[in-house]
Every structure is written in structure tokens, then in C-alpha cells.
């Protein structure tokens, strides 16, 4: 099994770690071992031998260190297992690498399944195609963090290291590594010399090594501020940095604020209460379509269009059955094809009492937006080579390659059965009108089929993103990427909740902004990772694809009905089986309906309609804030000269005031307190304050432009 994590979109298509040859090693050191389970047990793969493993002793922080026989570039690590589930199997672990005594560098933090299947993990920071980004390795440290059984010492049965040991390749990697070490050491010296005003020594070292401490723009900024005290020049350089996009990474890392707005249409016809319905957005046509759902008593077949520009609902059909469209249904799927300007609809839930041969055929429809016409593509997709009748599946259209993707969902059998059957991955060729089952044995071993999950297509990377859902009684929090080009699936995370992301959940709704490389997840029915209790609560998460990081934007765990009655115009109450779509043109989400959960009567459904905007500081905001800091210091330095007090007051009332964000209570309070400097005693030494300002300003720049964050004194 191949497990993959990645720091950016492009690295999803790296060479598989499992394809690299084994790297031989010996045991270097270890924390301890229990009884007869010595470290040497991991050197051989004996899945049927109960004693062939290393088991850490009690009362310490377990680790085992491996020394490779010759320097290598480590790309992966394979863990073998016992031939069946074992309570002592290692569950959570970390891996570090080191080169000839260099600091330990973390390369993996993950979890192992409690089964008999060996697992290979790719190391997170390595790029198998870029020598400059590889790390030479002489030692590997494995740190078990937990076992599958509570209060049991973790066991490792077998370890295989995988990587590149060819001398010609490794020598190049070592050269690059040592070159980086030299540059970093030189930068630390330069930083120390500049900080302590050893200008001649700084210039000599920079000249002789040809190493730049930082980007020239920051060097100019430092000189203008620290040497010349030219605050006007500092402002010019900051504006240049903003114009050149140097603040953009900082802006992208800022936390969003969620702005909800309830959309009301009093006295006008609107969709009624429902859950399990479908919404799909036509971004180019500025419209949202809604089909069917369950109102608590019956399935619906009404079809609506929301005109975003006119802010009005239009009833296209009271019952699509009568106009050649789908019958009443819920838990179906509908998705937009922006290229052909149509909607595809597939699947539905059927009560067990109605599951005879006639009712379990999987029909397939298309709606043509410009002509307002429905068309039957198939009365039985299974006979056409496609999926059986399914519900709670996912669909996505790849307009670049004219393909409709369908994944997961539960299949409806002809007869009521307690067995749960799940559908796999299918693609439908929109030009050839042909279904293909894409699931292989290796595919299903990595990605277990499920219901109530999310699936999004990432056009820039030509991949499907599959997240969370439910299988049997298990709520999932895993995350996968399916490479459309190679038909391979990669595990990006086994449990996002352990990596700062959402708890395991069912009917979570996800959207994608491919331009921003961000995925948005709005909660549904969640399972708390501590109490294991099902709960409906409001949370909104943003996943930064490039930085492989989660950010919780919004959360409200209140479950008091009276509270939500008071908040009915402020923010939506918790729910599941809702719909959540994204208008990438306006960067606005829309939410409609759903099931409010156990706190409400079982047949109650919601009919509220909301828009959601995510806002955060812009580049302009950051530039303004930086210039405010500059002008604040310039004002304070003016106050140090008694003859300039009146000039300082005028500067405070004009230039400094112009940079204050009047909506920020913090900035307003800070500004109001600045007037005290006009009468208070001031320290004549300006260098510490200027240095503090410089450190404040460089936080807005990306790491590759800045001086090292560490200090040479840290190593003394």
C-alpha cells in the first residue's frame, strides 16, 4: 500500500516511494526493549513469528535509531506487520533523518492501520526529481507515539528503508547539502555582524563569499531605516514590495472571517423545507439550480433556479417527472457541466419496501440549461456498464477531458438485505457515451468506498480530491488524491483531525477554489474524536493545498434551541443533509436547507437560504499597517527633539492619523495613546526601536527573502 503526503499540488505526482530499492541498515541505538522482543527483530520480515519484533520497554520515551550502511537519499519507509490484527501494533509514529551528526530533521508523522497489510510511507519533504531539495541520510530515528491497545507498549515487526544509494546520485546530493550548510552558516555570521554594527567585517565577508544575507530589497530597507533613518524611503520600499506581490504569501496565511447573510424573499415563492436535495451552480450563467429532496414526509421532484443577479427564485417545474425529467427523489447527485451548459443527475434513495426490480434501476438524466429541457440518458446505468442504483455518492465533471466522474455511494439491492454494498469509481465519457469502471484491487485497498463523502475535481492538477464520509458504522476523516492521468490513488492524510483539520464526519460539504488552491469544508454530522458521540454542529474549515495546512475559520457548538431562534437572522443553525455551493466568480458560498438533527422533531427540515463570504486582510491592508508602524516610529523620534514638538503634533494629526484603521479598536487605542509621547521623557537611543521596527516589517515578507530566523548565538 502506498501512503503519500505532499506539501504542494505538484508533488502529488512524485515517483512512488515503493518503487525505490531497499537500503540496508543496522541497529544503531534504542531506548529499551521489553522481555525477549529485541530491536534486531525488525531486521527480518516474519509475519507469523510472534517473537519477531521490537517492543519498547515501559517507563521511557521509546525510539530506535538505524544506521544505513552507506550514505543514501531516503525516500520511503515500509513497515511489515503480524499476520493478523495485534493489540501491540504501533499506531502513531514519527520518523527523523540525520546526516553525519547533523540535527534530526522530521520527515514523517503518521499512523499505521491495525491490519496485516504492509504499508509504505513517502517522506514528506523530499522531491525525487530535484537534487537540490533532497537530504543525504546516514541515520534514521523512528519514534513510536502510541499502540493500538491502550496501555500497551508499541511494537514494530519489520522495517524496510527505501531510497537511492547510487554513489553518483548521493555525491551530488551531499554536495548540494554541504553547499546549503555553508551558505546558511555564512548568513548566520552576516546576521550577527550586521546586528552588532560590524560594518567592515560584514562587507568583507559578503564580498569574499558572494553570499547575500537577504533579498536586496530588504537590504535596502535595512539601510534606509537603520543607517539613514530615511522613513520616506522606507515607505517607498514597502509600497514597492506590495506592488511586486511580496506580501501575498503573508496575506494568504491570514485567518479568514466568516460573514453570513440570510437571504429572504418575503411574499415571494421560494423552495420549501427539505434535506437530501441537490444544488448546483452555473457560475457563467449566474444561477443556482435545486432539485428534489425529502421534506420530512415525502420525496420531492420540484426544480428551482435562483437568479444570483436578480436575487429571485424561479420555479422551473413543480414535478420534473411530467416534463421528461427525474421522478421524486432524495440523496441523489446533480452536477454542472459548464462547457455544454447542462446538469447531470444520477441516483436516488429507495425505501426497502419499494425495492423490487422496477424501482431499483439506476436512471440517468441531463438537463439543458439554455433550452429548459430534460433528456433521459439511460434507464439503467448498470446495464450500460455504469454503477448500479446508488445514493449518497458523489459526482464531478471534468470539462477539460469531457468526463463525468462518479464515486462511492451505497448501492440499492433488489431485495432488502442487511449487507451494506458500496459502489466504486466510474467515469462516463461524455463524447462516446460510455461508462468505464476504474476501480482496481490496488485502488480499493488504499481507498475504501464510502457514502456521504466529498469529491472535488482539481483541474490544474488533473486529480480528484476525496474527503471523509462514512463506511459501515465508521465516520471517516481521511483525505485522498486520485491521479486521473495514471489511475493511481494517494493517501494525503489518514486522519485530518490529527493534523489540525475537521473531525470525522458524514455529509460534510466541500467546495474548491482552484485559483486560490483552497478547499472549503462545512460540517455536517460529526463524530467527536474524544467522546465518539455523533453531533450536529457548525464548523467551517479551509484547507490550503499548497501548504498542506488546515484552518478553522468558524465554529459554533451551541446546541440550545432558544439560542438558535435568536440567531436565526445572524448565522445558520447546525444541520446535515444540506447543500453548499461556491460561486468562484464572486467568491461567495450559498447554503440551503438540511436536517437540523436530533434536537428537532424527526420530520422537521429547514428552508433557510444563506450567503457566506470569507474575508481577510488584503495586500493593501498589510501595506497600510506597515506604513502605520513606520510613521509611528518617525513621530516618536520627532518627539525626542524638544524643538520639534509642534512638528511632531502636526505629523501625528495628519500623516499618522491617515494610516489608522478606524474600525480597529486596537489601532485607535494605540493612536490615542501616542499623544503622551509629546510630554513624556524619551530615550535618546533610537537603534533598538528601529531594529524592533525592522523585525516587525520583515514578518510580512516570505521566508526565502529574509535573513535566517535563528541566531549564531543559539549554537554557542
Read off the pLDDT of residues 580-635 as tens digits, 9 standing for 90 and up.
Answer: 999 999 999 999 999 998 777 889 999 999 999 999 999 999 999 999 999 999 99
Alpha-carbon distance values, 543 to 71, 502, 540 (Å):
36, 10, 10
The reported pLDDT for the residue numbered 586 is 97
pTM of structure: 0.84
The helix/strand/coil state of 679 is coil
**Residues contacting residue 227 through CB under 8 Å, at least 6 positions apart:** none
Residue 542 burial (CB count, 10 A): 21
pLDDT digits (tens, 9 = 90+) for 371-398: 999 999 999 999 999 999 999 999 999 9
**Residues contacting residue 69 through CB under 8 Å, at least 6 positions apart:** 23, 24, 25, 26
Spatial separation of the C-alpha atoms in residues 65 and 97, rounded to whole Å:
9
The helix/strand/coil state of 52 is coil
Spatial separation of the C-alpha atoms in residues 337 and 334, rounded to whole Å:
10
Under a CB-based contact definition with an 8 Å cutoff, are residues 444 and 429 in contact?
no
Residue range(s) of every CATH 2.120.10.80 domain in the chain:
257-615
The reported pLDDT for the residue numbered 8 is 46
DSSP strand E in 500-647: where? 505-506, 509-513, 518-522, 525-527, 534-536, 538-544, 549-556, 579-583, 588-594, 606-615
Q: By C-alpha distance, which of 383, 431, 384 is closest to 404?
A: 431
pLDDT digits (tens, 9 = 90+) for 44-102: 999 999 999 999 888 778 999 999 999 999 999 999 999 999 999 999 999 999 998 77
Q: By C-alpha distance, which of 35, 120, 128, 115 is closest to 81?
A: 115
The reported pLDDT for the residue numbered 11 is 45
**Residues contacting residue 650 through CB under 8 Å, at least 6 positions apart:** none
CATH no. of 257-615: 2.120.10.80
Spatial separation of the C-alpha atoms in residues 490 and 447, rounded to whole Å:
8
The helix/strand/coil state of 114 is coil
The reported pLDDT for the residue numbered 530 is 63
The reported pLDDT for the residue numbered 592 is 98
Alpha-carbon distance values, 251 to 56, 242, 245, 583 (Å):
45, 11, 10, 21
For residue 151, pLDDT beyond 90: no
The helix/strand/coil state of 108 is strand
Residue range(s) of every CATH 2.60.120.260 domain in the chain:
2-165
What is residue 43's DSSP assignment? G
Over range 551-566, report the average pLDDT: 90
pLDDT tier for residue 3 given thresholds of 50, 70 and 90? very low
Phi and psi torsions of 147, nearest 5°:
-110, 165
**Residues contacting residue 153 through CB under 8 Å, at least 6 positions apart:** 34, 55, 56, 57, 58, 62, 88, 147
Q: By C-alpha distance, which of 304, 368, 365 is closest to 339?
A: 368
Q: By C-alpha distance, which of 442, 447, 450 is closest to 394?
A: 450
Phi and psi torsions of 527, nearest 5°:
-120, 115
Strands 119-122 and 2-3: parallel
pLDDT tier for residue 443 given thresholds of 50, 70 and 90? confident
pLDDT digits (tens, 9 = 90+) for 393-440: 999 999 999 999 999 999 987 665 556 799 999 999 999 999 999 987
Strands 403-407 and 394-398: antiparallel
Q: By C-alpha distance, which of 252, 189, 244 is closest to 221?
A: 244
pLDDT digits (tens, 9 = 90+) for 192-230: 999 999 999 999 999 999 999 999 999 999 999 999 999
Over range 551-573, report the average pLDDT: 91
**Fold category of 2-165 in CATH:** Jelly Rolls (2.60.120)
The reported pLDDT for the residue numbered 612 is 98
pLDDT digits (tens, 9 = 90+) for 657-667: 999 999 888 99
CA 648, distance to chain mean position in Å, is 48
The helix/strand/coil state of 681 is coil
**Residues contacting residue 438 through CB under 8 Å, at least 6 positions apart:** 424, 425, 426, 427, 487
The helix/strand/coil state of 439 is coil
Residue 151 burial (CB count, 10 A): 6
What is residue 89's DSSP assignment? B
Amino acid at each position: 500500500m502506498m501512503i503519500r503526503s505532499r506539501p504542494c499540488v505538484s508533488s502529488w505526482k512524485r515517483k512512488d516511494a515503493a518503487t525505490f530499492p531497499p537500503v540496508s541498515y543496522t541497529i544503531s541505538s534504542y531506548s529499551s526493549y521489553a522481555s525477549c522482543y529485541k530491536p534486531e527483530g525488525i531486521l527480518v520480515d516474519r509475519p507469523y513469528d510472534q517473537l519477531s519484533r521490537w517492543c519498547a520497554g515501559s517507563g521511557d520515551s521509546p525510539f530506535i535509531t538505524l544506521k544505513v550502511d552507506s550514505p543514501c537519499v531516503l525516500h520511503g519507509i515500509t513497515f511489515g506487520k503480524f499476520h493478523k490484527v495485534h493489540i501491540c501494533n504501533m499506531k502513531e509514529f514519527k520518523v527523523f533523518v540525520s546526516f553525519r551528526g547533523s540535527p534530526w530533521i522530521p520527515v514523517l508523522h503518521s499512523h499505521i492501520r491495525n491490519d496485516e497489510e504492509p504499508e509504505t510511507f513517502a517522506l514528506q519533504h523530499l522531491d525525487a526529481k530535484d537534487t537540490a531539495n533532497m537530504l543525504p541520510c546516514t541515520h534514521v530515528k523512528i519514534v513510536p507515539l502510541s499502540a493500538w491497545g491502550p496501555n500497551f507498549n508499541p511494537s514494530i515487526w519489520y522495517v524496510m528503508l527505501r531510497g537511492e544509494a547510487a554513489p553518483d546520485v548521493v555525491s551530488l546530493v551531499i554536495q548540494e547539502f554541504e553547499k546549503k550548510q555553508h551558505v546558511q552558516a555564512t548568513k548566520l555570521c552576516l546576521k550577527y555582524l550586521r546586528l552588532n554594527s560590524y560594518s567592515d567585517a560584514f562587507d568583507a565577508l559578503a564580498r569574499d563569499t558572494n553570499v547575500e544575507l537577504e533579498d536586496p530589497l530588504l537590504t535596502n530597507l535595512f539601510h534606509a531605516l537603520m543607517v539613514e533613518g530615511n522613513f520616506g524611503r522606507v515607505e517607498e520600499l514597502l509600497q514597492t514590495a506590495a506592488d511586486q506581490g511580496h506580501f501575498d504569501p503573508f496575506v494568504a496565511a491570514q485567518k479568514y472571517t466568516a460573514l453570513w447573510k440570510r437571504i429572504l424573499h418575503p411574499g415571494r415563492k421560494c423552495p420549501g423545507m427539505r434535506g437530501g436535495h441537490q444544488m448546483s451552480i452555473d457560475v457563467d450563467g449566474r444561477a443556482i439550480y435545486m432539485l428534489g429532496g425529502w421534506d420530512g414526509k415525502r420525496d420531492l421532484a420540484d426544480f428551482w433556479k435562483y437568479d444570483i443577479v436578480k436575487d429571485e427564485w424561479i420555479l422551473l417545474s413543480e414535478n420534473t417527472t411530467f416534463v421528461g425529467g427525474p421522478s421524486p427523489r432524495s440523496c441523489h447527485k446533480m452536477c454542472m457541466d459548464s462547457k455544454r451548459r447542462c446538469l447531470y443527475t444520477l441516483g436516488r434513495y429507495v425505501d426497502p419496501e419499494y425495492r423490487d426490480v422496477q424501482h431499483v434501476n439506476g436512471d440517468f438524466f441531463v438537463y439543458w440549461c439554455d433550452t429548459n429541457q430534460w433528456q433521459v440518458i439511460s434507464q439503467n446505468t448498470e446495464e450500460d456498464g455504469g454503477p448500479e442504483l446508488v445514493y449518497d455518492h458523489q459526482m464531478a465533471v471534468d470539462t477539460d477531458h469531457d468526463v463525468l466522474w462518479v464515486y462511492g455511494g451505497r448501492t440499492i439491492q433488489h431485495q432488502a438485505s442487511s449487507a451494506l454494498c458500496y459502489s466504486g469509481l466510474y467515469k462516463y465519457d461524455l463524447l462516446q457515451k460510455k461508462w468505464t469502471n476504474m476501480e482496481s484491487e490496488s485502488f480499493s485497498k488504499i481507498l475504501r468506498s464510502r457514502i456521504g463523502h466529498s469529491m472535488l475535481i482539481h483541474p490544474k492538477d488533473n486529480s480528484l480530491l476525496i474527503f471523509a464520509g462514512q463506511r459501515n458504522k465508521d465516520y471517516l476523516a481521511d483525505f485522498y488524491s486520485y491521479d486521473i492521468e495514471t489511475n493511481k490513488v494517494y493517501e494525503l492524510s489518514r486522519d485530518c483531525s490529527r493534523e489540525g483539520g475537521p473531525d470525522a464526519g458524514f455529509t460534510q460539504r466541500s467546495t474548491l477554489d482552484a485559483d486560490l488552491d483552497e478547499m472549503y469544508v462545512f460540517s455536517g454530522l460529526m463524530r467527536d474524536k474524544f467522546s465518539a458521540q455523533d453531533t450536529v454542529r457548525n464548523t467551517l474549515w479551509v484547507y490550503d493545498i499548497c501548504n498542506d495546512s488546515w484552518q478553522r475559520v468558524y465554529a459554533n457548538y451551541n446546541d440550545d434551541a432558544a439560542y438558535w431562534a435568536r440567531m436565526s437572522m445572524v448565522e445558520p443553525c447546525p444541520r446535515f443533509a444540506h447543500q453548499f455551493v461556491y460561486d468562484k466568480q464572486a467568491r461567495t458560498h450559498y447554503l440551503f436547507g438540511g436536517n437540523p438533527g436530533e434536537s428537532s422533531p424527526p420530520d422537521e427540515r429547514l428552508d433557510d437560504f444563506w450567503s457566506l463570504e470569507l474575508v481577510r486582510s488584503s495586500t493593501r491592508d498589510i501595506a497600510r499597517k506597515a506604513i502605520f508602524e513606520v510613521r509611528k516610529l518617525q513621530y516618536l523620534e520627532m518627539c525626542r527633539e524638544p524643538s520639534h514638538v509642534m512638528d511632531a503634533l502636526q505629523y501625528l494629526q495628519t500623516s499618522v492619523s491617515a494610516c489608522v484603521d478606524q474600525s480597529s479598536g486596537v489601532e485607535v487605542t494605540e493612536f490615542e495613546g501616542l499623544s503622551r509621547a509629546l510630554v513624556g521623557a524619551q530615550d535618546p537611543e533610537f537603534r533598538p526601536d528601529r531594529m524592533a521596527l525592522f523585525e516587525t516589517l520583515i514578518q510580512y515578507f516570505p521566508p526565502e527573502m529574509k535573513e535566517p530566523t535563528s541566531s549564531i548565538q543559539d549554537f554557542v
